Structure 1
Amino acid sequence: MTLESRVTYMPATAQTSTSSLSSNVKYIEEALFNTNDLKQRTLRGPNTSGTLLYLESLVDPMLIERNIIIPFKHQEDKELDELFTTLEYEQQTDLSKGVDGLIQGSCVYFQEGKPEFYILAAPAKYDRSITEPENEGIIRGPHNGFIESLTVNLYLIRKAINASDLIVKYYTLGSTAPRRVALIYLHSLAQPETVQKVESRLESISIDSVISTGFLQENMEDNPYSIFPQHLNTERPDHASSYLLTGKIAILLEGDPTALIVPASFFAFYQTPDDYNNRWIIASFVRIIRLISFITAFQLPAIYIATVSFHSNVLPLQLFFTVQGSLTRVPFPPLVEAMLLELIFELLREAGLRLPSRVGQTIGIVGGLVIGDAIVKAGLVSYTMIIVVALTAISSFLIPSNEMSSSMRILRFPLMVMASMFGFIGISFGLTIMFIHLCKLESFGKPYFSPLAPLKFKKLKDTFVRFPIWNLWKNSDSPGKGN
């Protein structure tokens, strides 16, 4: 069943509660399709009696006992409003609001003879601890990360940014399984037209359910057919906060520890929090290495194929004889040789990801050594190609963003095909197409390849290298202005 074909099984129209306790309870039961985890409990006090409804899988039983059951037994002459002072509650007459409250972890109390009912907050808390994300580890800086609770994630951001103009706007997406989405930005730094564009795209999303932030990405991208990611993902509060302080906008989803940062630029995918935690000379050196790894990650196999197939005269004489000697026993052309090794590497990579961590590491190391050595001895590939593919794989691991790393892995294959057909001219043609696409690409109306296209000299201070902080973020050149 596709997402579009699902049916939303909710009451078509809102219904007002009545003074009949049984009819109100019956409506709730039918709205929840008589689910077995809907529990009823009759509460009787000296002056009143009623029925308490709750979904046992979503509430905290200790909280119900302490804040509802025990006060009822000792209510004496108190009104219900006085009994529920220790709980977050509201009075309602719309039964559909009661159904929504039950699904969100609240209790509903109906009193005999009264049409009004109470929605009492008693949600269960099963959140995991705030730990550092495994895929975004840093050497120096705060070691905490987002979790699946939207409230906790907002707390982490507000603790990092103590600003009165930090704005949070809530949206509810999904007709079958509604989930909350939070839009976060700094009013003084974010550009109003960008905020308006993000809001309009969020409001235009119409799907049955939002399982993860990936659903939001695909529904909000400027160019969904581009291979390059147009949202920056992070699970680090300090990383998200630093982008908010440069005028960016963050999007958080209830139940997902990943924050989406928009608008994104190409060079942002090669920056990490460590770039600003270390001294500027070290940070600049490491950033240059990362950008070199970008070139190596998808061009090195193509350059090797073009060199041995068409332009072997560019090699020094001794290196030429070494490369040619390793190719004499290989029965396949360089393209097939490279494709075979790249396929083996992708298989080992996926196997290592899907298996338990200890077994996965063993498969990756032992599998690479055994298969690599055996395939060379069998004469299927050359030692030189093993070195090229290994360097390419290591270079792809240097890219901080997993999405950008995946894009580079895919780009290798068409570039290798063009190199095998036209040599260096084919590589140049492929790179020209790629850079034209990068120059035309936009993320929420902002140039994706900025600050190179269009060229902004001031922004180059934090692109290929990182200038000192005292030179980078001056009051006269606030990072949030002009983004």
Structure 2
Amino acid sequence: MKYLKNRTLKSLESGTLTIDLKSGEIELKIAQIQEHLSHTEDLRIQMHVFNNQPCALLYLEALVNTELIQTSIIKPLLESNSGDVEQFVNSVEVAKSSNVVQIGKGLLDGFCVAVMGNDSAAVMMPVAQSQGRSIKEPSNEQVIKGSHEGFIESLSTNIYLLRNRIKSPKLKVKYLTLGSVTNTKVAVIYMNNIADPKIVEECLKRISAIDLDYLYSVGNIDEMIEEHPLSPFPQTMQTERPDRAVAYLIEGKITVVVDGSPSVLVLPITFFSFYQSPDDFNSRWLIGSFFRIIRLISFIMATCLPAIYIAIVTYHSEVLPIGILYSVKVSLTYVPLPPILEALLMTTILELLKEAAIRLPSPIAQTIGIVGGLVIGTAVVEAQLVSHTMIVVIGLTAIASFATPINEFGTSLRILGFPTMLAAALFGFFGISIMMMVIFIHLCKIETLGIPYFTPFGPFHGKGNFKDIFLRLPIWMVNKDSQNGKSSPFIQSFFGRWKRS
């Protein structure tokens, strides 16, 4: 308080203020705001006179654009002598509040607060500084054809990227604030005329019930609302591609955007959604369907290929032709480790190399890849710690897991490979069969917001939409009325012509 009085006296001596602060009410208001903000030293206070009354402008210097304050607030106030503050400032959004907590929240959101000596409410004007990286394609979801835009850390920019593609009045945005310390702004976005109201209500209920001190990213929300936390499969999709998020919005799904996070959350999601890529719809349907099938085959390869090798070498060598069997047996002659330990060793080394390549700068990461793939691989084989065939098998397994468009799902497949290898080492093909049965039973039991994860196969729904599961059929064959169980006119006319011919 003494600091404020000294500052006011200096302002009076310099001619900034032309009247005295009679009751000292403005000092009390400023002191309350300072107390609420823990007397932070980056809170700036400028004293001016407006309408023959003292006026204090408060803002946090790191969060505001000082040039915007000068041109949109200070200059209009100095040029005006009567009226209300909100009538003269050049700002789209002006709010008034007498609640210290709301005023403090406004300051933390990049507002400039005008405190008047004769007004019980403070005027809040947005002057936030916009600092963010440019919009560019995300490095972990690159495509050959299609949009090369990606989400960034700005909430407003991410909503713009969605609204720029869906210019519909039915696109609805609901704002929430999560995190008692961080007060992170969250936007829940969905198509009001397409999304199921029950799913939207359940989603909002779960997100609103989150009680955290801090919220950094959509990963925190994902972990708090998922129904099966022990499942290796992701039950929501995190994406940095606006075109992918828009496609799911049009399908009736919900998108959750968190301020400060470049990824958005899409839910509810199904198993087959993780094998769909924007490239499928930016290419001809034959090409898109071909790569879709390749990705689905990669699911079996990433999960079972090392286990199949272990089972064949350990129990079922008779299934191999004599030429291949001779080559495999020769490569295993001087290897001291059993096949299961070979596979575990090489899989662990692969994960270590991948983590090292991610954490290091790009030039060094490329060197690590070359050293890991050539030097270490060759040295391990020459040292007769693993066989040549195991190197090939682990390499194909890694490629198959990386073929998944969503990296998190590929990691889940590599995790599932470990219990599958143990089952193969213990029981051979029978163990692999049991393990795959357990995996598919688990897939059929998972639900996300009440939607079966393995839709439309688990439980099987005869009237489900099968036109975008294994194949990407032509656009003119897509059933627009699949939700109502009707066939589109295009399909009716197509099959009518086929029957007549």
In the superposition, the TM-score normalised over structure 2's length comes to 0.90
Task: Name the structure 2 match of 1:131.
Answer: 136
Letter in 2 for 1:426: G
Question: Which has the higher mean CA deviation after the structures are superposed, 349-358 or 115-124?
Answer: 115-124
| Cα shift readout 1:212-269 (whole Å, capped 9, x = no counterpart) | 1111001111111111000011111111011111111111111111111111100100
Q: Which amino acid aligns with 2:392?
A: I
CA distance in 1, matches of 2:126, 2:281: 42
The 5-angstrom pairing of residues 265-414 of structure 1 reads: 265-414=270-419
Contact 1:301/1:392 (8 A) holds in 2: yes
**Are the counterparts in 2 of residues 248 and 261 from structure 1 also a CA contact under 8 Å?**
yes
Match of 1:9 in 2: none
How much does 1:81 deviate?
Answer: 3.0
Over aligned residues, Cα RMSD in angstroms? 1.8
**Partners of 1:284 and 1:174 in 2: CA distance:** 43
- CA deviation string 1:47-78 (max 9, x = no partner): 23221111001000110111122222222445
How far apart are residue 199 of structure 1 and its match?
A: 1.2
Could you state the TM-score of these two structures normalised by the residue count of structure 1? 0.93
Partner Cα separation in structure 2 for residue 30 and residue 186 of structure 1: 43
Matched-pair contact (CA < 8 Å) for 1:338–1:385? yes
Contact 2:50 2:82 in 1 (8 A): no
Aligned-residue sequence identity (percent) comes to 46
Which residue of the partner structure matches residue 259 of structure 2? 254
Structure 2 Cα separation of the partners of residues 85 and 68 of structure 1: 7
Q: Is the 8 A contact 2:73 2:90 kept in 1?
A: no
Q: What is the CA distance between 1:44 and its match in structure 2?
A: 2.6
Q: Please report how far the alpha carbon of residue 347 of structure 1 lies from its aligned counterpart in structure 2 after TM superposition.
A: 0.8
In the alignment, what sits opposite 2:465?
A: 459
Query: Does structure 2 retain, via aligned residues, the 8 Å contact 1:247–1:479?
Result: no
Q: 1:60 to 1:320 in 2, by over 3 A?
A: same
* Partner-residue secondary structure (3-state), 1:135: coil
Q: Deviations over 1:407-465 (max 9, x none)?
A: 00101111111111110011111111111111111111111011111223542211111
Pick from 181, 193, 196 the counterpart of residue 201 of structure 2: 196
**Quick one: distance in 2 between partners of 1:359 and 1:423?**
41
The one of 80, 100, 116 equivalent to 1:111 is 116
- For residues 87 and 262 of structure 2, what CA distance do their matches in structure 1 show? 38
Quote the residue 1:441 is aligned against. 446
1:44 maps to which residue? 49
Please give the residue correspondences for 1:26-45 in structure 2 after superposition, counting only pairs within 5 Å: 26-45=31-50
- Is 1:470 the equivalent of 2:476? yes
- Secondary structure, aligned partner of 1:183: strand
Alignment-mate amino acid for residue 208 of structure 1: D
Q: Select 1:214's aligned residue among 208, 216, 219.
A: 219
Higher RCO (C-alpha under 8 Å, 6+ residues apart): 1
What is the CA–CA distance in structure 2 between the aligned matches of 1:63 and 1:334, rounded to whole Å? 68
Matched, 1:120 2:125: yes
Task: In structure 2, list runs of 5 or more residues that go unmatched.
Answer: 1-22, 488-501
CA separation of 1:87/1:280 partners in 2, compared to 1, >3 Å: closer, same or farther? closer
What secondary structure, in the 3-state scheme, does the structure 1 residue paired with 2:337 have?
coil
- 1:32 deviation in Å? 0.8
Query: What's 1:63 paired with?
Result: 68
Cα distance in 2, alignment partners of residues 265 and 365 from structure 1: 36
Per-residue deviation, 1:105: 0.5
Q: Is the 8 A contact 2:182 2:214 kept in 1?
A: yes
Task: Indicate how the Cα distance of structure 1 residues 418 and 283 shifts in structure 2: closer, same or farther if over 3 A, else same.
Answer: same
- In the TM superposition, structure 1's runs of 4+ consecutive aligned residues that sit over 4 Å from their partners are 475-481
Q: Secondary structure of 2:190's match?
A: strand
TM-superposed deviation, 1:196? 1.3
Counterpart of 1:93 in structure 2 is: 98
SS of the residue corresponding to residue 125 of structure 2 reads strand
- Structure 2 vs 1, CA of residues 19 and 153 (structure 1 numbering), >3 Å: closer, same or farther? farther
* Secondary structure of the corresponding residue to residue 211 of structure 2: coil
Aligned residues: 464
Correspondence 1:233 to 2:238: yes
Letter paired with 2:139: E
What is the rounded CA distance, in whole Å, between the counterparts of 1:460 and 1:87 in structure 2?
A: 48
Matched residues in 1 for 2:93 and 2:273: separation? 42
Deviation at 1:19, TM superposition (A): 7.5
State the distance in 1 between where 2:224 and 2:101 align.
Answer: 29
CA 1:480–1:184 in structure 2 vs 1: closer, same or farther (change >3 Å)? Answer: farther
* Counterpart code for 1:466: R
In the TM superposition, what whole-angstrom CA distance separates every residue of 1:108-144 from its partner, at most 9, and x where no partner exists? Answer: 1111233221111110000211111111111111211
Asked if the contact 1:40–1:54 (Cα under 8 Å) also holds between the matched residues in 2, the reply is yes
2-side partners of 1:19 and 1:100: how far apart? 24
Once structures 1 and 2 are overlaid, which stretch shifts more, 142-151 or 417-426? 142-151
Contact 1:264–1:448 (CA under 8 A) maintained in structure 2:
yes
Partner of 1:419: 424
1:132-211 paired onto structure 2 within 5 Å: 132-211=137-216
Q: Please, which runs of 5 or more residues in structure 1 have no aligned partner?
A: 1-17
Name the stretch that deviates more: 251-260 or 325-334. Answer: 251-260
Change (3 A) 1:460 1:385: same
Give the drift of 1:82: 2.4
